[in-house]
């Protein structure tokens, strides 16, 4: 794993870019290279390199409107003798904080550390907040679950026509916004499992509502995914000691009906299904305590059903 701190990006990419841009602005205002060097705390030779364009800058920073406006504001303040070093530092630090809050510093950081992609990382802004850690863990589980599904040859044939989704809720989930899933759902694309994007909270309706109904009875059932209902799949569940629960396919009051069925059963089984209705495709839901656990069980059942 590549380990890089955001502060390294600030020092190695943000600061040289800011200096180069500020040197250009001050040069256009008639400052000498030595005056610019004294102001920036660098050598005259370094300023010469900035002026010649021989210093590597980060284009994502240089092209950002906030960066351009900040540098222009600093240059004007220095040129008019209305801004001192303390004020300049304040402007740049404020910009760094903005760039670290899902901004271009985050984009560069995710590029250097691919494991951060799609995690909604905001450690720079909020630190190791417990709620943030929970969200990150949920997103990570859903993302890993989609990889498991995409790597299974048996999953493609089990994807419903309406698409598949895999979701996982926060421990104290209250509504669909507290459930992470894949925006746009997972589809069969030319015989392959197509996961269109990284998981996000609030990206699911039916899977999320099914999870919430399950959590109302068994709080640990925080994750689920949907498959096309198939007798071989249900048989595979029976063979593993799972007694699938059948429920009515209708959407009206489904959440309340599901919760009532779970309470009558006394728990939430790992597999529930319906056989469809007019305009409603037969669907099976596989549950787990995590999205990864649900995906692992689904792949296990599908592999067994295919043999």
Kindly tell me if the per-residue pLDDT of 114 is higher than 90. no
Predicted pLDDT of residue 127: 58
Predicted pLDDT of residue 169: 97
The average pLDDT across 224-230 equals: 97
Distance, in Å, from the CA atom of 174 to the CA atom of 71, rounded to the nearest integer, reads 45
What is the per-residue pLDDT across 141-156, written as a single tens digit (0 to 9) for each? 999 999 999 999 999 9
Helix (H) or strand (E) holding 166: strand 166-169
The alpha carbon torsion through 197, 199, 202, 206 (nearest 10 deg) reads: 80
User: Is 112 exposed, middle or buried, given 0-12, 13-18 or 19+ CB atoms closer than 10 A?
Assistant: middle
Predicted pLDDT of residue 166: 98
For residue 12, CA distances in Å to 6, 49, 98, 104, 195 come to: 10, 16, 18, 14, 35
Neighbours of 89 (CB within 10 A): 11
Chain CA centroid to CA 303, Å: 29
The average pLDDT across 10-26 equals: 92
Predicted pLDDT of residue 108: 85
Domains of the chain: 6-116 (no CATH), 130-306 (3.40.225.10)
- Which of these ranges, 39-48, 63-72, 161-170, 208-217, has the smallest mean pLDDT? 39-48
Q: By the 8 A CB rule, do 210 and 285 touch?
A: yes
Give me the chain's average pLDDT, please: 91
Predicted pLDDT of residue 103: 85
Residue with tokens 């799972």: 242
The average pLDDT across 164-178 equals: 96
What is the per-residue pLDDT across 26-53, written as a single tens digit (0 to 9) for each? 999 999 999 999 998 889 998 888 888 8
Kindly tell me if the per-residue pLDDT of 125 is higher than 80. no
């Amino acid at each position: 794993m590549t380990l890089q701190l955001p502060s390294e990006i600030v020092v190695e990419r943000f600061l040289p870019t800011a200096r180069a841009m500020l040197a250009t602005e001050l040069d256009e205002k008639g400052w000498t290279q030595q005056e610019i060097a004294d102001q920036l705390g660098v050598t005259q030779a370094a300023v010469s390199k900035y002026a010649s364009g021989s210093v590597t800058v980060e284009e994502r920073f240089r092209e950002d409107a906030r960066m351009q406006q900040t540098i222009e504001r600093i240059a004007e303040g220095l040129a008019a003798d209305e801004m001192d070093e303390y004020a300049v530092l304040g402007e740049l630090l404020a910009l760094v904080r903005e760039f670290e809050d899902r901004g271009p510093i985050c984009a560069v950081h995710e590029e250097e550390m691919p494991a951060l992609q799609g995690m909604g990382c905001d450690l720079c802004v909020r630190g190791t907040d417990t709620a943030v850690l929970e969200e990150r863990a949920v997103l990570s589980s859903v993302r890993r679950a989609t990889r498991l599904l995409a790597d299974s040859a048996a999953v493609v044939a089990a994807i419903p026509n309406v698409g598949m989704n895999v979701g996982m809720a926060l421990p104290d989930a209250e509504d669909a916004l507290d459930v992470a899933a894949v925006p746009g759902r997972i589809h069969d694309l030319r015989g392959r499992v197509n996961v269109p994007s990284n998981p996000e909270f609030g990206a699911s309706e039916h899977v999320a509502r099914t999870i919430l109904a399950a959590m109302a009875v068994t709080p640990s059932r925080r994750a689920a995914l949907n498959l096309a209902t198939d007798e071989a799949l249900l048989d595979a569940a029976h063979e593993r000691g799972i007694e699938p629960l059948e429920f009515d396919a209708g959407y009206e009051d489904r959440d309340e009906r599901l919760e009532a069925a779970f309470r009558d059963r006394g728990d939430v089984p790992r597999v529930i299904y319906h056989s469809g209705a007019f305009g409603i495709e037969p669907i099976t839901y596989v549950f787990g305590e995590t999205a990864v656990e649900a995906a692992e069980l689904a792949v296990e059942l599908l592999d067994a059903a295919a043999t």
